[in-house]
Amino acid sequence: LPAVYSLDGLLVFGLLLVCTCAYLRKVPRLRIWLLSERRGIWGVCHKAAVIGTRLHVAVSMSCLLMAFYVLVGK
């Protein structure tokens, strides 16, 4: 629980949200069911999915760097 309030915990949460929403966007049934709404909490998931698909190289590099930081740097 204390990791939620740290900056690196927040970055991990954001990266996981973007990666998960981008993955869910690739599944056709889930895309229609979950990511069709553009307002509220589902709108945040929709925007995270758009970021994950358009900036997939930057997001994947960020995930690798964060994994290295969490495993080795911490």
pTM above 0.85, yes or no: no
45 close to 21: Cβ distance less than 8 angstroms? yes
Please indicate whether residue 32 or residue 70 has the higher confidence score (pLDDT).
70
Higher-pLDDT residue of 34 and 2 is: 34
For 18, other C-beta atoms within 10 Å of its C-beta total 23
Confidence label for 10 from pLDDT (cuts 50, 70 and 90): confident
Q: Mean pLDDT, to the nearest integer, of 34-54?
A: 83
| Dist. CA 25–CA 41, nearest whole Å | 15
Residues constituting the chain: 74
Q: What is the pLDDT of residue 1?
A: 56
